[in-house]
Chain A
Amino acid sequence: MEWNKIAKLTTTLGVTLVLAACGNEATNGDTNEAEGETTNSLSGSVQVDGSSTVFPIMEAVAEEFSMEYPEAQATIGVSGTGGGMEKFIAGETDISNASRPMKEEEATMLEEAGIESTEFRIALDGLSVVVHPSNDWVDYLTVEELKSIWLEESDVETWADVRSEWPEEKIELFSPGTDSGTYDYFDEVILDGEQIDREASLSEDDNILVQGVMGSENGLAYFGYAYYAENEGNVKIVPIENGEGEVVTPSSETVQDGSYEPLSRPLFFYVNNESIKDDTVYEFTKYTLEMAGDMATEVGYVALEDSIYTESLETLENLRE
């Protein structure tokens, strides 16, 4: 039977491939171990979970960490800020990543569970507001204008409704999905908890938002700064007027010095104080604070000022005693 032959062939081929991969892996493991002996031996495990926004930074840190300590097991999950907190409260994780500060009810539940934790800042992220590259009328937007565009309750439908000299074309909105920390943050500083425009297209994948704006001349979207940095030629950034009336374009400098507000936000991670007594968790946390600035920049976020990392390291040392 013809079909039978094909099936046999693919099976043999597949098994050979897998075996080949496994063979290779064994040799890889050996070299790793050899390196391990010359460097450090730390053989515990550290469980990290939480925000998908913080994930790329933590992944970079963990990648370096596992090269330094090949015996240690660092694992990172992406349950989202809220989902991560839930696991942190249940005592299932040592470290929880968050793209927003811990909520009050989460803090209460943590207390009830008898877990003490410490908050560390890991990096900064600027939300970038972008339009189609051919959009030559939007020079900047104020927070009020942003709010009027995005709210369901407002009567802004076209660009002309925002400022009368702008074209009378309907604005097409693209927003991160409601499960994301990015949406939460925008909701807090721009929407004030009110209903977002029901006609806005929501997506959990920020790349879809980039594509949406690229394909729509009247598109308007917001998403993490890293996505803008990767697509600089494809979309046009909109400067935002801050609380002091200055019009600011997001960049590493303006996000770091705090002048790009209210759309820049700190990213956090929380460590279970009890877990810090464990050498692996302690070393991992220390390593994170030492590397975070460089790693954040490498994966497209903005580093905090050095002094903040130094302070955090002192806090960690105090917890260790």
Chain B
Amino acid sequence: MKNKIIVPNEKQISKRILKNKFAKGIFFAATLFGMVVLATLIIRILTQGIGYLNIDFLTNYASRRPEDAGIKAAIMGTIWVMSITIPVSLILGVSTSIYLEEYAPKNKFTRFIELNLANLAGVPSVVFGLLGLTMFVRFFQMGRSILAGGFTMALLILPVIVVASKEAIRSIPQEQYEAAYAMGATKWQIIRTVVIPAATPGILTGAILSLSRGVGETASLLMIGAMTFIAYVPDSVLDGFTVLPIQIFNWASRPQAEFQSVAAAGSIVLLLILIIMNSLAILIRNKYSKRY
């Protein structure tokens, strides 16, 4: 008997190659679109703002004169607020997701809570601002402070962190659990030695996305009463504060054209801070993802 090999005819092959090229073209165009927009934005703010970007800009307070205007209070405010938001949101977010994934009974009630968490991620930030104003500023008497701002921001990004962490935990292979159970490990031991290390890269990806959103957040902080002009560096979490996006927005809405350039310089600083934060997270993520 002869071996029969099925050879597709030439026409079929060229059709498939064409389809492949077409798909590649679409995906490339999609990527290109994003890249071009991003490059335009970056080039624009760089050319507009670079002239105002110097040490004085980083060490001066806001001023009515564009050439004296600086961003010190806003940088410090952003750092202070983030230093509250990051630990609070990570601790609460990761704990919630561990409870929901590992401990909570898989019933309708849990499903209901999970559904609501996903919905919360889409609630406009002003609503979180209102919540923060009623709860932290007024009820808990924190005033218009860094503490209230940090907690409000933590609430704002919490849903995203929880959803991302849950996904990360869910994607851990079942065999790893089984191996650990076979060794006689308790649930807490498994969480400590298997779940958390294996889920860290995924958790951090969620954290990067949500914290980046937090750094650029204005509406909710204005709602709880973040300042716009402040001429001192906060020295406790109970002091008033301003953050970079509020300062940038204020400059951008001024009538004087020079302030538009100052706003661009501020945007460069904000971008740099974002890159630094994300780099840190990527470093930590790579450290863990090598192990699994």
| Given contact pairs A62-B229, A62-B231, A207 touches B252 in the complex (Cβ within 8 A) | yes
B143 with A92: CB separation less than 8 A: yes
A25 with B275: CB separation less than 8 A: no
A21 with B58: CB separation less than 8 A: yes
CA distance A229 to B256 in the complex (A): 9
8 Å CB interface, B228-286 against A: 228-233, 240, 250, 252-257, 260, 272-273, 275-276, 279-280, 282-283, 286
B231 with A66: CB separation less than 8 A: yes
* Per-residue contact bits, chain A 1-35, to B (CB 8 Å; 1 contact, 0 not): 10110111011011101101100110011000000
A78 with B250: CB separation less than 8 A: yes
A230 with B276: CB separation less than 8 A: no
| Given contact pairs A56-B254, A66-B231, A229-B255, A79 touches B222 in the complex (Cβ within 8 A) | yes
The stretch from A69-77, A108-116, A307-315 touching chain B is A69-77
Interface centre among B231, B232, B260 (most CB of A within 10 A): B231
Contacts of B260 in A (CB 8 A): 207
The stretch from B37-45, B59-67, B189-197 touching chain A is B59-67
B interface residues, tally (CB under 8 Å): 42
| Given contact pairs A21-B75, A76-B227, A78-B222, A230 touches B279 in the complex (Cβ within 8 A) | no
Q: Identify which of B62, B75, B225, B256 contacts A59 (C-beta below 8 A).
A: B62
Could you tell me the distance in whole angstroms from the C-beta of B4 to the nearest C-beta in chain A?
A: 48
Return the chain A residue nearest B283 by Cβ: A7
Return the chain B residue nearest A210 by Cβ: B255
The stretch from A185-193, A255-263, A281-289, A293-301 touching chain B is A293-301
Could you tell me the distance in whole angstroms from the C-beta of B112 to the nearest C-beta in chain A?
A: 35
Q: Identify which of B72, B255, B282 contacts A25 (C-beta below 8 A).
A: B72
CA distance A17 to B57 in the complex (A): 13
Could you tell me the distance in whole angstroms from the C-beta of A302 to the nearest C-beta in chain B?
A: 14
Could you tell me the distance in whole angstroms from the C-beta of B60 to the nearest C-beta in chain A?
A: 9
Contact-size category for A: 35 or more
A77 with B72: CB separation less than 8 A: no
Return the chain A residue nearest B68 by Cβ: A63
Is A212 close to B, CB under 8 A? no
B255 with A21: CB separation less than 8 A: no
CA distance A49 to B224 in the complex (A): 12
CA distance A206 to B252 in the complex (A): 10
Is B187 close to A, CB under 8 A? no
A90 with B138: CB separation less than 8 A: yes
Is A224 close to B, CB under 8 A? yes
A63 with B64: CB separation less than 8 A: yes
CA distance A206 to B143 in the complex (A): 31
Could you tell me the distance in whole angstroms from the C-beta of B220 to the nearest C-beta in chain A?
A: 13
Closest 4 CB pairs of A and B: A14-B276, A76-B229, A66-B231, A60-B64
Query: With contacts A13-B276, A59-B229 known, what are 17 further pairs, Cβ within 8 A?
Result: A6-B279, A7-B282, A8-B279, A10-B276, A11-B280, A24-B58, A29-B233, A59-B228, A63-B229, A76-B228, A77-B226, A78-B222, A79-B225, A207-B252, A207-B260, A230-B257, A299-B64
- Interface positions of B (Cβ within 8 A of A): 55, 58-59, 61-64, 72, 75, 79, 137-138, 143-144, 222, 225-233, 240, 250, 252-257, 260, 272-273, 275-276, 279-280, 282-283, 286
